[in-house]
A and B are shown apart, each in its own frame.
Chain A
Amino acid sequence: MSTRWYPIYQKGGPQLRVFLPNFWLKLIKPTTEQPANIVQFSCSMQMTKFDIKNYLEKIYNVNVVDVRTRIAMGKTKPDPGKGYIVKEEDEKIAYITLPKGEVFKFPDLFANEMKPEEERDKALKEAKEGHNKFLEKNKNRPSLPGWFNI
């Protein structure tokens, strides 16, 4: 079931089918070290273990051996500005076991990220180029304002 409303299921009735599921699933980096064939997900609170298994198998073509879920309680802490106590949302976390021999490693998404110096140089270069272009355009029309254009 997705979070939508469906008619009640009674014995002998037709099987309930979800045509447009609106569940979301996030693959998250495990905080503690896990075996190589275990993948950690954060999912919609309404999802059951069966939902997660079917979701991954039917939509993503991932073979799932086992699903375990837990609900992580959101942190309670004082609001940074106001000081009153606020609680973060609870989230459901699912641990998926892949079949024996299959391995998943969470990729390093920021490996080929630009360094701050490179970024700064790039921005400076772009600004210089823009300025040169502007000068080039206004070379033959002195004393005209920069916004004057056709």
Chain B
Amino acid sequence: MSTFAKIGGITRLLANSSISKVNNTCKLRSLSTTPCRRELMEFFDDEKNWGVQEVKSGRSWKSDELRLKSNTDLHKLWYVLLKERNMLLTMEEECKKETRLFPSPERLDKVEDSMKNLETVVRERNKAYHLLETGEKGERPRKLETNVLGLHYKYKMSEHPIPKHLNTKWKKQYEFYKYDKEVEMFREKLNEKNYLAKKKQHRREFNHVIGLLNRFPNMDMEALKQQYPEVDIEKAKNSRKYGGHFEPK
């Protein structure tokens, strides 16, 4: 209470410049002051940055740095970043409308990058907390489903106030796979297409390896095997394409 009163007194005294010199000798924590309320002007950059060619800025926040911060700090930083992004978007829009170049557009990328990093850190903490408390990750549950065309996809599950069999709207929105002759035909053809593409790719790689062996006979075989794991090198060496147009030694 007493410290509070002291600080209150000093702030009052600071307004009077003649007495403020006396108070500088006092041992005090640095006064925390809130920044002045600019309200709607917070949507615009500093006035000195208006109409300039370049605005210097630092780098984005790394996730390793953010991991050291407390939850409250992250929460505060999020709003700082959010405001910064709004400001940059506003300035960009205005520049676009006035057909000017937006100075240092990389600032937007930096802010977005920081926001992404911050979100991953918060998500990590959330996951850890949920795993500790409930044994589950606490993320939105997903399930592998098959759609009407017979293709697999990750279905994002959500909560519904009414059960599945009564929910006509949901039924209309999400059509899952039911046996259909034409869909089966489509799937067959799709599988064939994928299979042929894979085969073609494999054949191309095989021939490429033979070409490499022809051009560079003293190549590092381990490296080759590592780069083309699908290709059987012994088989490639037995191919009729292997070896140049000359008599073998």
Contacts and interface: CB of A to CB of B under 8 A. Distances in A.
A110 B83 contact: no
Contact of A8 (B75, B95, B100, B160): B160
B188 interface: no
Contact of B40 (A5, A22, A39): A39
Contacts of A107: 41, 44, 50
A61 B82 contact: no
A68 interface: no
Contacts of A16: none
A61 B38 CA distance: 9
A7 B82 contact: no
Interface of A, helix, strand, loop or mixed by DSSP: loop
Interface stretch (A25-33, A74-82, A127-135, A137-145): A25-33
Contacts of A20: 75, 78, 118-119, 122
Contacts, number: 78
Nearest to B93: A26
A92 B95 CA distance: 20
Interface residues of B, number: 36
Interface residues of A, number: 29
A25 B86 contact: yes
Given A20-B119, A25-B86, A110 B40 contact: no
Contact of B39 (A5, A62, A110, A112): A62
A67 B161 CA distance: 31
Contacts of B160: 8
A150 interface: no
Interface centre among B50, B78, B79 (most CB of A within 10 A): B50
A61 B86 contact: no
A8 B158 contact: yes
Interface string A30-47: 000000000100100000
Interface in A94-146: 104, 107, 109-114, 119
A60 B51 contact: no
Contacts of B86: 24-27
A28 B93 contact: yes
A85 interface: no
Nearest to A10: B161
B180 interface: no
Nearest to A21: B82
Given A29-B94, A109-B50, A113-B100, 19 more contacts: A5-B158, A8-B158, A19-B75, A20-B75, A21-B82, A22-B82, A24-B82, A24-B85, A27-B86, A28-B90, A28-B93, A60-B40, A60-B42, A62-B39, A62-B40, A107-B50, A109-B51, A111-B50, A119-B53
21 contacts: A5-B158, A8-B160, A8-B161, A20-B75, A22-B115, A24-B82, A26-B86, A27-B43, A27-B86, A27-B90, A28-B90, A39-B40, A59-B79, A59-B82, A60-B83, A61-B37, A109-B50, A109-B91, A110-B51, A111-B50, A114-B51
